[in-house]
Structure 1
Amino acid sequence: MPPSGELRFNDLFEAAEHSAVHLEMRDVYGVGDEADDFRHWQETGWRDADPDSAYWAPWVDLISRATSHGVEVRRARVVSEPVTDYIRYEHAGTSVNVNAGEDVRWLARRRAVDLMLPGCDLWIFDGSSVLFNHFTGEGNWADPPLDLRTEPAVVKQCVDAFEAVWSRATPHELYEIH
C-alpha cells in the first residue's frame, strides 16, 4: 500500500468482519520497496520468501490476524501469457501469501475476454466497500493512490467481476507459469 494510504488501508482491512478480496490486473508494478526487491530478484534470481523478513512480516501479520478472526482473504490475479518477469517474481513469492492465509488464484487474460472487469485493481471488504488502487503507466502509485467507494451498484459490479474471475481462475498450487 502507498505510504499516504497505508493507515487507511490497514484500518479498512482490520475492520473487515467476513471477507477481504483483492483483484489484481496489471502485468507490472513498480511501487515502493517492492521495486527494489524486484530489481534484486532480476539480478540474482533470489526472491525473499521468509515470512519473518522485514519485507514480508507486516503483511503476514496483517493477514494472519484477519484470518484468525474468521476473515476470508482471497486474491485473484489476471495475467497476460506469456507472463512478464514481474509476474514471475510475484509467482515466486506467492507461497508467503498462501502460508499467511490468503487463497490465491491466477487467470490468463485470454480467459477473461468476455468478463466485464473494473478499470483498475481493487480490494472489496465484506462485500460492502471497494477500495480502488490507482497506478501510473509505469506501475507506481498515482495521485491520489486510493479511492474508496460504497455505492451499492459500484460494489455489486466489483463483487460480480471478482467472483467471475475467481470461478475461472486456477489455484496457485496448480498454476504453471507460461
Structure 2
Amino acid sequence: MTVPSVPSFMELIDSAERSAVHLEMRDVYAVEEERSKLEAWRAGVRLDPADRESWWRPWLDLIARAVDRGVTVRRARVVSEPVSEYIRYEHSGTFTNVAAGEQVRWLPRRDAAGLCLPANDFWLIDGRRVRWNHFDGDGRDTEPEMSDDPEIAEQCGAAFEAVWERAIPHEDYKLS
C-alpha cells in the first residue's frame, strides 16, 4: 500500500472522473472556515435561494464543475436526533449543495444500528482513493490522510452505500 500525499479539496474533486462520495458522521464540526457563517446563522442570517452569488464559494463552483463533467457527487450525513445546533445550521444551507448538483441524504443515527461504519468521515473518489477527514474531540479538523489501498476503498464504498440505502433524501428529511 502506498500512502499518497493529501491533495487539496480542489485537486481531489477535480481529479474525480466518475464519482465522489462523502460520509459525514459528526454532530458538530468546528471548521475554521465556517465559523463566521455559523455565527451569522445564529444571529438569524439565512442564505437566500435567489442570491446564488452569496453562497459558499468556491466550494459550490467546484461541485458544479465536477457534476457538469459527469461526476456523480453524493453526501450522506449520519446524525443524532434531536439534531445539534450545528446540524440545524448545516441543514438550512444544504439546498445550496443540491443546487450545485450534489445529492444529499440524512440518516438518523438510530437507523444506522447494525451498519459497520469507519471511525472517521471520508471522501471516496472513483471508488479507489480515500481521503480520511480527522477531527479532534471538539470538531476541529486535524491532519487528513489519503489511502489508495483497494481493500480500504472497498470497505468505505460498502459503508457509504449501506448508509445511502437507508438514508432520507434532503428534500424529505425533517429536523427533529
Residue type at the aligned position of 2:116: M
In 1, the alpha carbon distance for the partners of 2:8 and 2:41 equals: 30
Q: Which residue of 2 aligns with 1:68?
A: 68
Alpha carbons 1:18, 1:126 under 8 Å: kept: yes
Q: Which residue of 1 aligns with 2:80?
A: 80
- How far 1:127 moved relative to its partner? 0.2
Residue type at the aligned position of 2:46: R
Taking structure 2 as the reference length, what is the TM-score of the superposition? 0.92
After TM superposition, list the pairs within 5 Å mapping 1:28-107 onto structure 2.
Answer: 28-42=28-42, 44-49=43-48, 50-53=51-54, 56-107=56-107
Alpha carbons 1:16, 1:126 under 8 Å: kept: yes
Indicate the structure whose relative CO is greater, using CA pairs within 8 Å and at least 6 residues apart: 2
Residue type at the aligned position of 1:156: E
What does the per-residue CA deviation read over 1:94-115, in whole Å, with 9 as the maximum and x for residues that have no partner? 0000000000000000000100
In 2, the alpha carbon distance for the partners of 1:68 and 1:92 equals: 24
Residue type at the aligned position of 2:153: V
In 1, the alpha carbon distance for the partners of 2:32 and 2:88 equals: 18
What does the per-residue CA deviation read over 1:27-71, in whole Å, with 9 as the maximum and x for residues that have no partner? 0001123022112211x2223354312x61201110111000000
RMSD over aligned CA atoms reads: 1.3
Residue type at the aligned position of 2:45: W
Q: List 4+ stretches of structure 1 deviating above 6 A.
A: none
Alpha carbons 1:51, 1:57 under 8 Å: kept: no
In 2, the alpha carbon distance for the partners of 1:107 and 1:51 equals: 27
1:122 is paired with a residue whose SS is strand
Q: How many residues align?
A: 169
In 1, the alpha carbon distance for the partners of 2:153 and 2:18 equals: 15
Within the candidate set 149, 168, 171, 1:170 is matched to 168
In 2, the alpha carbon distance for the partners of 1:26 and 1:35 equals: 16
- Given the alignment of the two structures, is residue 159 of structure 1 paired with residue 157 of structure 2, yes or no? yes
In 2, the alpha carbon distance for the partners of 1:110 and 1:141 equals: 25
Can you give the 5+ residue segments of structure 2 that lack an aligned partner in the other structure?
Answer: 1-5
In 2, the alpha carbon distance for the partners of 1:137 and 1:35 equals: 17
In 1, the alpha carbon distance for the partners of 2:76 and 2:82 equals: 17
**Percent of aligned pairs sharing the same letter:** 54
Can you give the 5+ residue segments of structure 1 that lack an aligned partner in the other structure?
Answer: none
In 2, the alpha carbon distance for the partners of 1:26 and 1:51 equals: 27
1:124 is paired with a residue whose SS is strand
In 2, the alpha carbon distance for the partners of 1:82 and 1:47 equals: 21
Cα 1:8–1:33 shift into 2, 3 Å = closer
